[in-house]
Amino acid sequence: MPPRVSILFFDMNSFYASVAQAEEPALMGRPVGVLTTDAPNAACIAASIDAKRCGVKMGTRQDEARQLCPGIVFRPVKHDVCVRYHHAILRAVETVLPVQRIWSIDECSCLLTGSQQDLPKALDLGRALQQAVLDLVHPALRCSVGLAPTRLLAKVAAGLEKPGGLHWLLPEILPDRIAH
């Protein structure tokens, strides 16, 4: 019998920056910092994957981000646009699985039942969910998916690889699987 999981947790990668890239395609593949406000030395609330690779993270101020990542482009957060994308993501996910719970604007979980709990089937559902978001929302919006018997383990699994990871955790493979 294959291992079984009951929770699929998904976390949108660099959500606010990815929304900025989706809205402004010229930003795709470029380092982007999303700011709390359009003001001198505002802090980043999000950074694109390319900006993160240079060391820009949440809370990094504009001046420091420019030093870490020459060529970074800044955009102020557009909450109304991000909420619109959040709803589009939920609609895309619902084509694969019902959303059980929304944890934040970029994190949700789905309950797996019956044969969906078999790990190979759950992995297929995770891949289908990732593809649905790319196809039905925008290619800039990638998500990481975690599968596990509990939400906490599923969230940890989703965080093991970003962007676009798909991982699973079961108590019997811990702590080795997360020892790094």
State the catalytic residues: 107
- Cα–Cα distances (Å) from 12 to 3, 65, 82, 136, 179, in that order, read 26, 22, 12, 14, 24
- Picking from 7, 14, 12, 178, the residue whose alpha carbon sits closest to that of residue 86 is 12
Q: Is the peptide bond before 70 cis (omega within 30 degrees of 0)?
A: no
